[in-house]
Structure 1
């Protein structure tokens, strides 16, 4: 029997672990590893919903937090779904390294660029695959995880495609997984990750705006800042001859133009982009609220680093990074929302 460990039971980890557990023929094939509070919640059951109105649930999940239990499940696992934040990857690998079975496959589920390469350096004897999560997840109540936006899970193509398809296809719950968690395999994950990074640039603006994503996108000033950062990223991508796949209903190179439209036109033309649960906020907003280091260096910072190598200027992206760093240094959980026009002025967007 294929054994899975989801290492990191945050929002994405809990949602993914819930799907794996519901799809597995035997739920005990899947174990979630997380903090004590998360483990206690997941052990009581889970409910997964999405913005289309789909709902599935389970009475309990196999979740652990003690060192002995972690060693037991990790040492038997064939697939480790690494769902911790980018900032916690190094420490997670150090914890996992002495426990891993020789055949264990590591699936990196982080945003940003280059995380899988870092893991490969630390675990050269293990196969490491990349996975891209395109949607937002919010926790509405204890054990209730809600997918609030569109997107298809992207998994790096490998010889394990057939096994992973069975694990995610809802064999035990016909039709469930395809609705709750659509997925597809990709050969060129580097291009997929850059395409996702283009969308993730809005995370930093959401964190600064301090309002839900839908409310942010309804204001042109915030969209102008995101569009400016996207144009900088697209210049980097073009210089590196990367062809971005289409992750949304709008091709990547047309998204900045769409974002610049006046509010009334944007609402009319970009209705799918606004088809987001009104409560959804980004992971970077959550990090600032919980006074944690954000993933800004792995997201916007990756654009600036790549731009430097190919001689592309990224003044807006760099200015947004500085603002996020200032928020991190203040260690203040409760912040006043930043008004859209004020943000434009701060980062030099007109």
Structure 2
């Protein structure tokens, strides 16, 4: 049986890192993404690195802008922004090979539902999760600045893919509880909006307790909603979901010396939502904090903290300046 061919659809920072690592492991990868990346990678190749000092360089990279590159793929790793999921699904339906496996490595919960609705039974759809952050440093360089793993559903196709990838920065872990993992990751990702509103790197933002208090409050609200809905988020990394707000909101001396030291966040790491604000792109806040707002609405209740964060990100998309720690805390928490 021939080795599976992979296409990364929506190859931005995360997609370039994942696909690049997989190509470095010997997998045939086609990248489909933005015109500016085509030129950058054509001129510089693809350089990948992580916070542990690992680095790899690829001179020959098949990076395209047209979705026709989906036609030969057995596995499609989808890394487009969540708002573009329906459009990407229609491109897959038009150009992809019937029976191909589509793995959603996207933020949020609802993307898999969108894909299944648009693709029907012509394609397999699997949920995935990216636990780490990737920063584009220019000149074809993509840096994994936060420790973490890549997850997807435990299927025969993903078992074979994981074996071919082997160990490394984009190794593939398999799970039978991907929905629980997705909710667990969403609770962690509630920090993305606060980091974006701060305008700072992740390390700088997380070093300020007032920012962390806002994140912790949004997580507590999320945990209450999930409990009411009968949803059990999975443990991601070394911290149980129920403990996240206590750790995030802990005093600076404890957070910095005990918790932050274990999470291996380097100075280059930043929220992709912050990158979107800088580039004046629409963010994914509706698929992070907004997922909790939508869940609350379905249950006939409210999520005021996460709803206010969504509103502030929407204002930031229009060019509102970053918020200081105490100012943001008072704006969201009222104290």
TM beyond 0.5: yes
Residue 173 (structure 1) aligns with: none
Inter-partner Cα distance in structure 1 for 2:262 and 2:212: 12
Is residue 303 of structure 1 aligned with residue 303 of structure 2?
no
Is residue 275 of structure 1 aligned with residue 264 of structure 2?
yes
The answer as to whether partners of 2:17 and 2:48 remain within 8 angstroms in 1 is: yes
1:337 is paired with a residue whose SS is coil
Inter-partner Cα distance in structure 1 for 2:198 and 2:260: 21
Residue 338 (structure 1) aligns with: 323
Aligned Cα RMSD in Å?
1.7
Inter-partner Cα distance in structure 2 for 1:110 and 1:158: 19
CA shift in 2, pair 1:111/1:343, >3 Å: same
Inter-partner Cα distance in structure 2 for 1:337 and 1:274: 25
Residue 264 (structure 1) aligns with: 253
1:52-81 CA-to-partner distances (Å, cap 9, x unmatched) read 11112222211122x4xx42x322211111
Q: Which runs of 5+ in 2 are unaligned?
A: none
Is residue 107 of structure 1 aligned with residue 106 of structure 2?
no
The answer as to whether partners of 1:6 and 1:30 remain within 8 angstroms in 2 is: yes
Query: What displacement does 1:277 show?
Result: 1.3
Residue 96 (structure 1) aligns with: 92
Within a 5 Å distance, the mapping from 1:247-262 to structure 2 comes to 247-262=236-251
1:280 is paired with a residue whose SS is coil
* Total equivalences in the alignment: 331
- The partner residue of 1:145 within 125, 142, 147 is 142
Inter-partner Cα distance in structure 2 for 1:243 and 1:4: 32
- The partner residue of 2:169 within 167, 176, 180 is 180
- The partner residue of 2:119 within 92, 117, 123 is 123
Query: What displacement does 1:149 show?
Result: 0.4
Query: What displacement does 1:316 show?
Result: 1.0
The answer as to whether partners of 2:150 and 2:171 remain within 8 angstroms in 1 is: yes
Residue 10 (structure 1) aligns with: 12
Inter-partner Cα distance in structure 2 for 1:82 and 1:268: 37
1:279 is paired with a residue whose SS is coil
Inter-partner Cα distance in structure 2 for 1:101 and 1:286: 33
Q: Which runs of 5+ in 1 are unaligned?
A: 170-177
The answer as to whether partners of 1:45 and 1:58 remain within 8 angstroms in 2 is: yes
1:210-235 CA-to-partner distances (Å, cap 9, x unmatched) read 11111111111000000000001111
The answer as to whether partners of 1:137 and 1:147 remain within 8 angstroms in 2 is: yes
